[in-house]
Amino acid sequence: MIKGRLTRSRALRAEDAARHLRWRNDPLARWATAGDPCFDPVTAKAITLAFDTMPRLSPRESAVFTVEDTAGGGVIGMADYRDLDPYAGVATLGITIGERESGGAATGRRRCGC
């Protein structure tokens, strides 16, 4: 678990799947990702497959985390890294705060302290 001032990130759990499905299909959340192809709409079957597969992926390549609010403890979003290039020292970091009452679009960097 990675804990910051406003949020903490933890490993995915099966009970997170419904929220991830809702966020991935939310037009406002998709708009806030600025056309990220990794955030296209998905089916429930695709989310189930992803949740079954992700824990077996090498963390040296990519990972997805669930983001919780430290004040209330509720699940508010997700964060991931991908396209990792250890030789160049770069990676793509994606942060989505899917719960609109938690700040919603464009607050991922602020809430996660980036």
Give the domain CATH number at 31: 3.40.630.30
The 3-state secondary structure of the chain reads CEECCCEEEEECCHHHHHHHHHHHCCHHHHHHCCCCHHHCCCCHHHHHHHHHHHHHCCCCCCEEEEEEECCCCCEEEEEEEEEEECCCCEEEEEEEECCHHHCCCCCHHHHHCC
Per the structure, how many domains does the chain have?
Answer: 1
Q: Which residue has the higher pLDDT, 34 or 93?
A: 93
What is the model's pLDDT at position 111? 52
Tens of pLDDT, residue by residue over 21-56, are 888 888 777 766 666 666 678 899 988 988 888 888
Domain that holds residue 7: 2-112
Tens of pLDDT, residue by residue over 65-76, are 889 888 887 898
